[in-house]
Amino acid sequence: MKTSTVQNHNPRTLGRLALCLLVLGLSFSEQASAATVTYVGSETGSPGNNYSVQNWSNPGTQADPIPKAWNVGTSEVYGSSGYIQIRPGPTDVYQGFADGNNLGVGASTNPTLLSRPSFISSVTGGAGDFVNFGGYSTYRGPDGSAIYRQGALAVAVNNGPYSPELPVSRELIPSSYFGIAMHFTVNAGSYFRVGLAVDSLGSGTYAPDYVGLYSNSTGTKISSLLNRDGSADMAFFDIDARGDILDTTFDVSLWQKSGTQGSAGLSLVTFDAIPEPSTALLALVGMGCLVIHSRRRR
């Protein structure tokens, strides 16, 4: 007479097996997925956080660090992988440019400071005016030390009205208009956080109510409601293109509610690669887990 065994149905055994399969599955799941965009949150530079937006490149000191709400590492800086600081400097600027411009890199006065990260293959500006006037916010430069009067690319907010969906509540935002401030193309296999600084032009009139990212594959992903009050705001999005087989181009959109729209400016863009376990490591862990499980069964 044969006796039955319940070893294979032990909840702990089944749990270990499920975990092994999950880890192994994660190591291959990236290979068949399209790019995704997730709105992370926003931050306002204020005395309470040592003006973390304006001090984006300065970590402070060990004794008095400048807290960065959406920093992905331990350095307390944004832009560890790259940045675009649009037309900072002491000189007044008012210059109009067509769509696809170089964002003011190499300009004779107040040139844009750009360090393009390896995971971005191209970046261009939208149609608008480069501006920098007295009364604008002061920002640190990329070295974390120099202080500049911060400029911007101001674009007409006149496309619409539309009502995209808010990221958490899934509600539609009030009828609003948008303008495109920048285009950038993400290399396949990338995973990073992008920060977009606005409301630095001395008056909330030239600030957006929302910041958005658009691509053909993801549609429009939009931030929560920002404060149009002349205090620098920064909206953060995570872009996961680890499963892409093709590069994806995104548009940075600045939104204003109907009846208040005019123009809005983009001042700073930061890029920070998000650390993660490698796909190969996940695969090895998953397969090792299955081997151990198999030996325990024997």
pLDDT at 288 over 60: no
Q: How high is the pLDDT of residue 33? A: 73
Q: Is 199 left (phi over 0), alpha (psi -120 to 50) or beta?
A: left
Residue 169: predicted pLDDT = 84
- Cα–Cα distance for residue pair 233/216, rounded to 1 Å: 27
pLDDT at residue 231 greater than cutoff 80: yes
- The string of pLDDT tens digits covering residues 96-122 is 999 999 999 999 999 999 999 999 999
pLDDT class for 10, splitting at 50, 70, 90? low
**What is the pLDDT at residue 201?**
98
Predicted confidence at residue 22, as pLDDT, reads 44
- Asked if pLDDT for residue 241 goes beyond 60, the answer is yes
Output the pLDDT for position 16.
56
Least confident residue range of 84-88, 211-215, 286-290: 286-290
Alpha carbon distance 163, 212 (integer Å): 12
Q: Is the pLDDT of residue 182 over 90?
A: yes
Residue with tokens 């087989």: 245
Q: What is the DSSP string of 78-130?
A: S-SSEEEE-S-SSS-EEEEE-TTB-TTTT-SSSPPEEE--TTEEEEEEPSEEE
What does the pLDDT look like over 128-140, one tens digit per residue? Answer: 999 999 999 999 9
Contact 126, 180 (CB under 8 A): yes
Does pLDDT of 279 surpass 70? no
pTM for the whole structure: 0.84
Question: What is the per-residue pLDDT for 277?
Answer: 67
Model confidence band, residue 12 (pLDDT cutoffs 50, 70, 90): low
* Cα–Cα nearest to 139, from 131, 151, 152, 148: 148
Q: Which of 23-37, 51-65, 131-145 has the lowest mean pLDDT?
A: 23-37
Residue % of the chain over a pLDDT of 70? 82
pLDDT of amino acid 71: 96
Residues 6+ away with beta carbon under 8 Å from 153: 86, 87, 103, 104, 125, 126, 128, 129, 130, 131, 181, 182, 265, 266
Which residues have C-beta within 8 Å of that of residue 136, sequence separation ≥ 6? 149, 150, 151, 152, 200, 201, 202
b (16+ CB within 10 A) / e for 176-210: bbbbbbbbbebbeebbbbbbbbbbbbeebebbbbb
If DSSP states are collapsed to H, E and C, what string results for 255-285?
Answer: EEECCCCCEEEEEEEEEEECCCCCHHHHHHH
pLDDT for residue 242: 96
